[in-house]
Chains A and B, each alone.
Chain A
């Protein structure tokens, strides 16, 4: 990497961080959302759901322990949507042009933007894990370290999907609807709240949806990493999905596909 490319990366990360710091409510919203699930939903279902024998947990695992990786995924999913929203906002406000006329190649600029978005998500994820620890969800301490690459990879995949989504959404006003359309099916149709084995017993179609859902793989990657284990299938699926989504996003942003519409309007 050249010095200029590195400075460009640092500049993009710095801008994302400065914007994040000015939007403090975003940080608290990202914490409150999963904490409501953990404290209310988790407590309510603790005695109703038997998760004994579900890997990577041992016997007698509490429901809250199970859903914490899924809620980490929820933080990352919202962060991916935030990346998408911010791209659409920048496009509408005109500031994306400043990024696009930089002398660095487009794929590099979008990758920097993606990585910057994931870096901003890390404090949110670890703040949530700290709150979960206080609530009694305590994976091994080493798990917090092992989870870091998994969280980064899951964040990259969801951010890349966010970038792709931003290339498909034409106007800012449409974005709220698109977010609801994406977030809820992706979250509920995954292994974030219930294991695949339990889903198969209840509904084979839903189980198949959850098995194919890339978000399930991101969640499983984080879940296993938190307990010091590696889920190879989840790793491969997450990497492949990241590369495919990113390639499609770059292709969409290339050749003015996105700006052509706004200029033609």
Chain B
């Protein structure tokens, strides 16, 4: 059973945003979804999350129809737009997420401490989110997505707006986490330098899958995109 199976998905607002997108991801894979701004990555993530209704095609998450309770329970999401309550502390924000996923207080407390420790934020646990830097907020969001031990992690431009060292640290942390826990990850980005040799990379351009392979070299991607654009 695939962790994520997308078949012939098309979606349109006023103009088409996705056109016949199909791919699947096997359990344990770390897959990059690479595309320029406006390629349709966020639309695809919103469909996988069930935030948008499917217009055409099918999506199965962990063997379940998209939007179903079992599918959502197995997924962890990091959205492109920050989704933290600025007026709550880091611990309160994470506790809220844990409650939404039905974790008990004691489990939530343990996991919050564990995840914040892993992401180097244990000392900021009781600080208001609004006092954190952009990079720290993103790490809180990733820690939050991992809190309920999802089998499938979906990250939409999780490093957007961060400096290069912060981006690298976050990507490495997520890669390590997936390797340690055997989780599957779909990482959407427009930044070619987040691709490492051997990564499976799906290139999305103008709503269509243009490439899907493991041997895309990060260094050649700017030229690759220039070629697609022309």
CA distance A22 to B89 in the complex (A): 11
Q: Name, among A7, A22, A23, A100, the residue most crowded by chain B CB atoms within 10 Å (CB to CB).
A: A7
With known contacts A22-B87, A103-B73, A255-B53, A97–B79 Cβ distance under 8 A? yes
**CB of A19 within 8 A of chain B?**
yes
CB distance from A128 to the nearest CB of B (A): 24
Query: Which residues does chain B contribute within 8 Å of A58, judged by CB atoms?
Result: none
CA distance A104 to B102 in the complex (A): 9
CA distance A5 to B43 in the complex (A): 29
With known contacts A19-B87, A94-B83, A104-B69, A14–B46 Cβ distance under 8 A? no
Contact B99 A11 (CB under 8 A): yes
**CB of B70 within 8 A of chain A?**
yes
Q: Mark A72-112, 1 if CB is under 8 A from B, else 0.
A: 00000000000000000000011111111111110000000
CB distance from B115 to the nearest CB of A (A): 16
CA distance A264 to B87 in the complex (A): 28
A-B contact count (CB 8 A): 102
Contact B49 A103 (CB under 8 A): no
Contact B85 A19 (CB under 8 A): yes
- Give the size of the chain A interface in residues (CB under 8 angstroms): 34
Contact A101 B52 (CB under 8 A): no
Contact B84 A263 (CB under 8 A): no
List B residues 76-128 near A (Cβ within 8 Å).
Answer: 77, 79, 81-85, 87-88, 92, 95-104
Contact A97 B49 (CB under 8 A): yes
Contact B52 A104 (CB under 8 A): no
List B residues 139-155 near A (Cβ within 8 Å).
Answer: 144
Contact A101 B102 (CB under 8 A): no
CB distance from B112 to the nearest CB of A (A): 13
**Interface residue from A11, A23, A101 paired with B95 (Cβ < 8 Å):** A11
List A residues 1-60 near B (Cβ within 8 Å).
Answer: 2-5, 7-8, 10-12, 14-15, 18-19, 22-23
CA distance A32 to B208 in the complex (A): 57
With known contacts A97-B77, A259-B46, A102–B85 Cβ distance under 8 A? no
Contact A101 B50 (CB under 8 A): yes
CA distance A98 to B146 in the complex (A): 13
Query: Which residues does chain B contribute within 8 Å of A3, judged by CB atoms?
Result: 102, 104
**Interface residue from A7, A98, A102 paired with B104 (Cβ < 8 Å):** A7
**CB of A136 within 8 A of chain B?**
no
Contact A264 B100 (CB under 8 A): no
With known contacts A18-B92, A263-B13, A263-B43, A97–B83 Cβ distance under 8 A? yes
List residues of A whose CB falls within 8 A of some B CB.
2-5, 7-8, 10-12, 14-15, 18-19, 22-23, 93-105, 255-256, 259-260, 263-264
**What would 17 A/B residue contacts be, using CB atoms closer than 8 Å?**
A3-B104, A5-B102, A7-B102, A11-B98, A12-B100, A15-B88, A18-B87, A18-B92, A19-B87, A94-B81, A94-B83, A98-B83, A99-B100, A101-B72, A104-B69, A256-B52, A263-B52
List residues of B whose CB falls within 8 A of some A CB.
13-14, 42-43, 46, 49-53, 69-70, 72-73, 75, 77, 79, 81-85, 87-88, 92, 95-104, 144
